[in-house]
Amino acid sequence: MELRTHTDLAGFWDVAQSLYLADPAAHTIPLAAVVPRLGTPYQDDVGPLITVHEDGVLTGAVFRTPPYPLGLSGLSGLRTSAMRAVAAEVLALAPDLDTINGPVEVAEAFANAWQELTGRPWRLERGERLYRLATLVPPDVRGTARVLTEADVELVSLWRKDFSRVLGVELDIDAAEAGLRQALEMGTTVLLWEVDGKPVSCAQASGVVSGMSRVSFVYTPPEQRGNGYGSAVTAAMSRWAGEAGADCVVLFTVIDNPVSNAIYQRIGYQPVHDTANVLLGQGN
C-alpha cells in the first residue's frame, strides 16, 4: 500500500476524481466541496489531502476543506491496516484534527484507529441520513419561490447564523455573511419561499458536478414553522437542481429528527445510507 500526500487541491483532484466520480451520490460532499474551489482563492485553505494506492491502483482518498470535518467517504472498503495507516498519516499532518465525517462504519473505523494512535477517545456528535431524490412530489403550499438577491443577504445571513447554531457551530453575523457570499461565489444557488412578498423560508443547492447537486441549508424561522414552507422551498430547490442539469439530487437530514425525515420522504426522497459526524479527542 502507498499513501500519497498532496500539497494542492488541483493535484489531489487530478488523482482522486475517478474514485469520487464513480458514485456522485455517495461522494456528494467531496464533489460539492472540492470542485467549486478549483481555480478560486478558496483552493489554498485546504488539507490534509491524501490518496491511497494498492499496486498502483487508487483505492481511497481523504480530504479536508476547513472549517469542515475531514471527509472520509473515499475510504469505504479500506481494510483495517490501511485505515490505521491513513489515520497515522493524517495525525502527522493535522495532530489537532477534531472532527471527521463519513459513512458510519468508515467514520467509526477511522475514529478507533485515531484512538489507538493517540489514546484519546471519540464520540458521535451527530448522525445523518443521506437521501436521494426519486420522483419529486411538490406539496400544495401557499407562496412562491424566488432566487436570493443582494437585498436578502442580511436576512439570510441571520438565518444562516441560527441554522449553524442548531448544528453546534457558533457564528457571528459577519462570519455567517462571509460563508454565504463564499458559497454564492462557488456556484451555490439560494432560493427563498415568499408569502405575500415576505420571505418565510430558504434552501440552497450546490452547483451541478458530474450530474449531482446537493440541497442544504433548509431553514424556516421558528415563527413560520408548521406551515409547510420548508417542504415547499425544498421541493422548489430540488426542481431547480433538476432543471440545472442534475440527475442526482441529494440531501442530508439529522437521523433523530423524525419531522425532517418524514417531510423529505413525502416529497420524493429515498434513503441512501447513514453517516456520522464524529468528535475526536472527546469522551462520551
The whole-number pLDDT of residue 284 equals 54
3-state SS record for 199-253: EEEEEEECCCECCEEEEEEEECCHHHCCCCHHHHHHHHHHHHHHHCCCCEEEEEE
Which domain CATH number covers 24?
Answer: 3.40.630
220 part of a folded domain: yes
Residue 95, domain extent: 2-127
Domain for residue 272, yes or no? no
Contact between 110 and 86 (Cβ < 8 Å): yes
Note if the pTM is more than 0.85. yes
Q: Left, alpha or beta for 45 (phi > 0: left; psi -120 to 50: alpha)?
A: beta
Please, which residues have CB within 8 angstroms of residue 43's CB and are 6 or more apart in sequence?
Answer: 8, 9, 10, 37
Collect the ranges in the chain with pLDDT lower than 70: 283-284
Supply the pLDDT for residue 235.
98
Q: What angle do CA 98, 74, 187 make, to 5 degrees?
A: 85
Q: Are residues 221 and 155 in the same domain?
A: yes
pLDDT in tens, 80-121: 999 999 999 999 999 999 999 999 999 999 999 999 999 999
Dihedrals phi, psi of 40, to nearest 5 degrees: -120, 165
pLDDT the model gives residue 45:
81
Residue 236, domain member (yes or no): yes
**163 in any annotated domain:** yes
pLDDT at residue number 283: 59
Q: Is the domain of 85 the same as that of 108? A: yes
The answer to whether position 222 is within a domain reads yes
- pLDDT score at 18: 97
What's the structural domain count of the chain? 2
165 with 105, same domain: the answer is no
One domain, residues 91 and 193: no
CATH classification of the domain holding 199: 3.40.630.30
